[in-house]
Amino acid sequence: MNALQAVNAKTDFQTAEDWWRGAVIYQIYPRSFQDADGDGVGDLAGIVQRLPYVASLGVDAIWISPFFTSPMADFGYDVSDYRDVDPMFGTLADFDAVVETAHSLGLKVMIDLVFSHSSDQHPWFKESRANTDNDKADWYVWADAKPDGTPPNNWLSIFGGSAWHWDARRCQYYFHNFLTSQPDLNLHTMAVQDALLDVADFWLARGVNGFRLDTINFYFADKLLRDNPALPLEQRNDRIAPAVNPYNHQLHTRSKNQPETVDFLRRLRAVMNPYNAAALGEVGDAHRGLEILGEYTAGDDLMQMCYAFEMLTGGRPTAEYISDVFAKLDEVAADGWACWAFSNHDVNRHTSRWNLSDPAKKMFNTLMMCLRGSVCVYQGEELGLEEADIEFDDLQDPYGIEFWPEFKGRDGCRTPMVWTDSNQNGGFSTAERTWLPVPSEHLHHSVAKSENNPDALIHHYRRAIAFRHAHSALALGDQSKMKVDGNVLSFTRNWNNQTVFCAFNLGDEPAQISIPDGIWTSVGQDLNSAPADATGVVKLDAWQPCLAIRNNNPKGVQNG
């Protein structure tokens, strides 16, 4: 399927205002997508070059990770100029070309905004740290030391150690949830909010259709700087930080997740509304992620969608686990809207994380396309790329360098996209050395090789995305309470007069279930969907789905 065919295959059941609802969003990590100028680092011109491929997958939108001016201590998530493109990635004209090309291919464009913190090289911070009485003195979170010189409270950084760093210019500590070179902005100061809203408006006026909002629940810290409580050992998990990180020893009720966030999100939504723009918030919380998702997406004046980390978990999701997640979601976020992802630029690729066989890869993709919510696909997952094993000397991620070897960081999921298997860089770059090495084992899964293999995962992704687009109930509909029968997860999706039955065998052994009462037509044969027999019994092979649509014809089960 070419890009134009993919655009034409999409249905038009979504209005201009709710294009995001049920959308399939393709995440592009620009450093690793395509290098157009041969310096070993991907760039915006490279994205333009490869957008027809993205459109051919049938997705609705792209999310581009940060490309703003940055010293790159955290690879663009440390912004020093919110209104310009880092020369590494090109120019504003190159970004305009991305937007124009994407729109011509029927793709919406979402960009990654980092509002919780900036780089310490940002002019705002340089002015703020100069003294205690300048115009931006309160634009960041500053605090005096305790009488004994230690930090003002017990808050910890996700990247390890105290979240406070002593600054000799002001003789005060500043707060950083991440690297010491990423000071947290103080959104309690209205001028900071106004400046960030101006940034959002700048990019909306330039043609973007929405934002992925980095660490959306980190925008505010407790104004009184009270300590976080300790977290009992039995409640700790590694959903947000690796197990070896002491960050997991606290319940972060003070350093993030503050109630003031909701009011700021309402202000942001008001800026977005005239552009029919949508936002996707990243909720980074190991204990209240789904609750916060519900709080931030309830109603028409907050964010359209958020994602928590339940499906980015380390262990392979079982039928019972997925059912529990959706039961919790129904309890705490009934009026909200989730976005689901199995992989992204911050976690090990799910093919490796869950140790998936080829049939399991396909079935999990089909499952994702049937769940209520929107969907994010991370570049390369459609090829079945596995987590790369990066040698310590090649590591770039400061997170991995800090916690090596128990935690190897995020470089393994950020290696360059493989377009061909004909050269050492997989068609990503002509440079002698790329910013991260291209794993030789990835070459066997390149786009070119996959396109020529009818059994390759990429074709399944296209079929599953097209199936979602062809059935409005999957994109927009309600979802019944999930049912668990051993390893089989089942539910129905309902929209107007359309009901889709979905069942998935999440196990290595065959299983058998009964389809609900009613008249059903089996669908999704190109997704390996198992048919029901005349009595409504479905026999599922390992890692096989069953997909059926309710039929108004009262004569019996039909297969077609």
Catalytically annotated residues: 214, 282
Do residues 290 and 310 make contact, with C-beta atoms less than 8 angstroms apart? yes
Element (H, E) at 374: strand 374-378
Q: Which two tokens stand for residue 80?
A: 């020093």
CB neighbour class for 135 (10 Å; exposed up to 12, middle 13-18, buried from 19): exposed
Helices 289-297, 260-272: inter-axial angle, 10-degree rounding: 50
Backbone angles phi, psi at 294, to 5 degrees: -65, -40
Strand ranges in 210-338 using DSSP code E only, listed in sequence order: 210-213, 278-282, 305-307
CA–CA separation, 443 and 435 (whole Å): 17
Type of residue found at 221: A
> Which position has the token pair 């014809």?
553
CA–CA separation, 45 and 426 (whole Å): 18
CA–CA separation, 112 and 54 (whole Å): 18
Do residues 287 and 235 make contact, with C-beta atoms less than 8 angstroms apart? yes
Q: Which two tokens stand for residue 116?
A: 């919780």
How far the first Cα of the chain sits from its last, in Å, is: 23
> Which position has the token pair 């043609």?
207
User: In this structure, what is the dihedral angle of CA atoms 151, 155, 160, 166, given to the nearest 10 degrees?
Assistant: -30
CA–CA separation, 60 and 131 (whole Å): 48
> Which position has the token pair 């464009």?
109
What 3-state DSSP class applies to 1?
coil
Q: Which residues share a beta bridge with 112?
A: 212
Q: Which residues share a beta bridge with 62?
A: 26, 109
Task: List, in order, residues 6 or more apart from 546 with CB less than 8 Å away.
Answer: 490, 501, 502, 503, 504, 513, 515, 522, 529, 530, 531, 532, 538, 540
The closest alpha carbon to 525, from 543, 544, 550, 498, belongs to 544
Q: Dihedral sign, CA of 158, 164, 168, 170?
A: positive
The closest alpha carbon to 215, from 88, 122, 79, 80, belongs to 79
Backbone angles phi, psi at 63, to 5 degrees: -115, 120
Do residues 528 and 362 make contact, with C-beta atoms less than 8 angstroms apart? yes
Type of residue found at 199: V
Q: What is the DSSP string of 169-185?
A: TTTEEEE-SS-TTSPBB
Q: Which residues share a beta bridge with 504?
A: 489, 545
